[in-house]
Amino acid sequence: MTETAIEAAALGRSFGRRRRPALDGCAFRLPAGSVCALVGPNGAGKSTLLALAAGLLPVGEGALTVLGGTPAAARERVGYVAQDKPLHPHLTVGETLRFGRELNPRRWDARAAERVVDEGALDRGTKIRALSGGRRTLVALALALGKRPELLLLDEPMADLDPLARHRLTATLMADAAEHGTTVVMSSHVVAELDGCCDHLLLLGAGRVRLAGPLDDLLAAHRLVTGRADASLAPHTVVESRTTGRQLTALVRPEGPLGEDVQSAAPTLEELVLAHLRAPHAAALRLGGTREVAV
Amino acid sequence: MTAVTAERPEAAAPAPGPRALVRTVLLVHRSALWFWAMLVAVGAGCMLWATGPGADAAWAEYRAMGCFSDQPSLGCDMPGLAAGRYDTVASFGSAILGLTPFLAAAWAGGVLVGRELENGTARLAWTQSVTPARWLAAKLALPAVLLTGGTLLLTLLHRVMWASDGRLWATIGSRQWYQSYVFEANGTLATAYALLGLAVGALAGLLLGRTVSALGTAVVALAALLSALSWLRPFLWPARTLVAEDGYPPYPGPVVDEGAVTATGARVADPLCGDSARCLADTGVTGYYRDYHPSAHFWPLQLVETGIVLALTAAATLAAFRMLRRRLP
């Protein structure tokens, strides 16, 4: 078993010299078997990171290890669904599955693929171009799951799905991950989509890692505090604070017991992420065996 | 996942095998392959008809018009209906061979590679268990085999048509062995140019990654290469020379060069003296020469050019693989 699914060290990637790098000095480690939410605002580098891990882009700087080797060497063991869910529009659903079977002869699991297709009650004879966006997503996911990957990289998988399909798909992915120990990395800019199905979080902002680690540990490392506007938050690290009238709301990383003049509560995933998105200059935090790299 | 991977030797043969790749290319590009099969069938049909019933009807008409003699008679310059029909169908057969390289370039640039890069289906293939290089190899190999088979069949039929109807062509048509569309269709060049079109198209597709621009660039680039090579064609094999003293020698084939010669054998520009003996004496012109290719030069010319075209094809293919490697880790 590969202990580490993905490990990045000082990973950077630019598109063009004049533009800001899409990824800049990223370092994190994702243990095998985890289900990781890859979160960040538009343009944070989520898609670039996933494409790099899928072996579709050359690594610019630093190193990226996927399943113990280079991304290109791991090609056969990695499933990837791109953001725009590319499929051959003139093939039928059945032919698209055949495409997957032919190109993954040693791994193809027809049942896993059929299960996803059946979830959408898709007719095998329907052409891909006649399908709605959500159903096309299901076919793309069926292709990725049929490959029986050890690492599944999903770029905005839920974007086109209705809430019910989203729910079902999450259940399928979780069942698959639990049954086969698949590592799943799922990107989204809608945090609510990912709540309840992920055990790891990787938050990117402007090409850098903002938060990385096991979700529970990250949540436990933060407190959402409220108090009077003049309450002192020293010596704790304040990620973000807002005052409304005389009321102060802040997300802090406590360095010890919080003072008695404030009330505190555990943040939700959404609160954690939103606070970090609103405060782009807050210090990065990596937990869980990641080598600390100065940001 | 450990159970699945541990049993699998990492050094096993690359998956998927060539057959699976061929089946995939057939699956994804079947409409183009059907179109090619149809085009070959139409071309073959045209040439078979022209060789058989078309030529017979044209001859019968020719005889009925009272034109048939050993010398083409002046009154029979206007071809009849059957001759016109023969001419149209035979030309159509040749035209398919002449058009194939451009169709191959447009398709390879636009559909085979450009569109796949543009709409992301190339990335879909590269995230299956196939390396991008094998993907491109399969996408080029199968069309190359089908293009070679189809063009060789059409070339063979074209040669049969040319051989059996040669006299008819000389009588009612004005086709000569060295005219581009006859020259290319009668030898290995039709096949070589079709393969060049495929390679140039794939290279344009990988360079540009867009359907329309790759399609246009591939066609323009192929047209430029083709016209450069057909300009170069007469110089690919040493020409024969005819020299005559009274005016120019006869016109035995495609002329590479012509002019006047002096007593020392030096070649000079024709001083346009006409019959003026004084002019000829002043300029020292003693005769006229013509460098030309006899029809026996068909194969040497054909094979040298085929070699050049295949070398260009190999270079374009290599460049295409290089471009692919630059795109990917």
Q: Which two tokens stand for residue A113?
A: 């693929």
Sheet containing A223-228: order of strands? A237-244, A247-253, A223-228, A262-265
Domain locations in chain A as residue ranges: 4-215, 216-279
User: What is the rounded CA–CA span in Å between residue B100 and residue B197?
Assistant: 8
Per CB-CB distance under 8 Å, the chain A contacts of B28 are: 88, 91, 99
According to the model, what pLDDT value does residue A62 have? 92
Which runs of consecutive H residues, i.e. helices, occur in chain B?
2-6, 18-28, 30-49, 55-64, 81-107, 116-119, 121-126, 132-164, 166-172, 180-185, 189-208, 211-232, 277-283, 298-327
Superfamily name with CATH number, domain A4-215:
P-loop containing nucleotide triphosphate hydrolases (3.40.50.300)
**CB–CB of B328 and A57 under 8 A?**
yes
Per CB-CB distance under 8 Å, the chain A contacts of B322 are: none
Per CB-CB distance under 8 Å, the chain B contacts of A95 are: 27
**Per-residue pLDDT tens digits for B217-230:** 999 999 999 999 99
Please indicate whether residue B123 or residue B71 has the higher confidence score (pLDDT). B123
Interface probe for B, chosen from A47, A90, A102, A150 (most Cβ of B below 10 Å), is: A102
**Per-residue pLDDT tens digits for A212-241:** 999 999 999 999 998 888 777 778 888 888
Residue B155 has a CB neighbour count (10 Å cut-off) of 20
User: What is the rounded CA–CA span in Å between residue A119 and residue A172?
Assistant: 9
Q: Give the mean pLDDT of B209-222.
A: 96
Question: Number of CB pairs < 8 Å for A and B?
Answer: 100
Q: Give the mean pLDDT of B235-255.
A: 87
Q: Which two tokens stand for residue B269?
A: 């520009």
**Per-residue pLDDT tens digits for B117-146:** 999 999 999 999 999 999 999 999 999 999
Per CB-CB distance under 8 Å, the chain B contacts of A55 are: 126-127, 328-329
User: What is the rounded CA–CA span in Å between residue A295 and residue B275?
Assistant: 94
According to the model, what pLDDT value does residue B70 have? 59
Answer whether B130's CB lies under 8 Å from B25's CB. no
According to the model, what pLDDT value does residue A145 have? 92
Please indicate whether residue B137 or residue B247 has the higher confidence score (pLDDT). B137
User: What is the rounded CA–CA span in Å between residue B101 and residue B107?
Assistant: 10
Query: Smallest Cβ distance to A150: which of B5, B121, B126?
Result: B5
According to the model, what pLDDT value does residue B7 have? 41
User: What is the rounded CA–CA span in Å between residue A136 and residue A124?
Assistant: 12
Q: How many CA within 13 A on the CB side of residue B279? A: 9
Q: Which two tokens stand for residue B23?
A: 């089946």
Question: B21: Cβ–Cβ under 8 A, 6 or more apart, which residues?
Answer: A102, A103, B130, B134, B135, B138
Q: Which two tokens stand for residue A2?
A: 């590969």
Q: Would you state the torsion angle of the CA atoms of residues B296, B297, B298, B302, taken in this order, to the nearest 10 degrees?
A: 150
User: What is the rounded CA–CA span in Å between residue A100 and residue B191?
Assistant: 33
The closest of A69, A8, A35, A25 to A205, measured between CA atoms, is A25
Q: Which two tokens stand for residue A152?
A: 């599944």
Whether the predicted pLDDT of B116 surpasses 70: yes
**Weakly modelled stretches of chain A, pLDDT under 70:** 1-2, 289-295
According to the model, what pLDDT value does residue B168 have? 73
Least-confidence region, from A132-136, A288-292, B234-238, B299-303: A288-292
Q: At CA B250, angle to CA B249 and CA B251, rounded to 5?
A: 120
Whether the predicted pLDDT of B296 surpasses 80: yes
According to the model, what pLDDT value does residue A21 have? 86
Query: Smallest Cβ distance to B128: which of A71, A87, A103?
Result: A103
**CB–CB of B31 and A57 under 8 A?**
no
According to the model, what pLDDT value does residue B11 have? 43
Whether the predicted pLDDT of B209 surpasses 70: yes
Nearest residue on chain B to A51, alpha-carbon basis: B123
User: What is the rounded CA–CA span in Å between residue B242 and residue B291?
Assistant: 7
Chain B residues touching chain A at CB-CB below 8 Å: 1-2, 4-5, 8, 12, 15-17, 20-21, 23-24, 27-28, 31, 119-121, 123-131, 327-329
Residue with tokens 């020392």: B264
Mean of the per-residue pLDDT values for chain B?
A: 88
Q: Give the mean pLDDT of B7-23.
A: 68
Per CB-CB distance under 8 Å, the chain B contacts of A72 are: 131, 328-329
Least-confidence region, from A109-113, A175-179, B173-177, B200-204: B173-177
According to the model, what pLDDT value does residue B311 have? 98
**CB–CB of A147 and B128 under 8 A?**
yes
CA A226 to chain centre: 30
Nearest residue on chain A to B2, alpha-carbon basis: A1
Q: Which two tokens stand for residue A120?
A: 């959408």
Omega before A235 cis (within 30°)?
A: yes
Per CB-CB distance under 8 Å, the chain B contacts of A150 are: 1, 5
Say if the ipTM goes beyond 0.85: yes
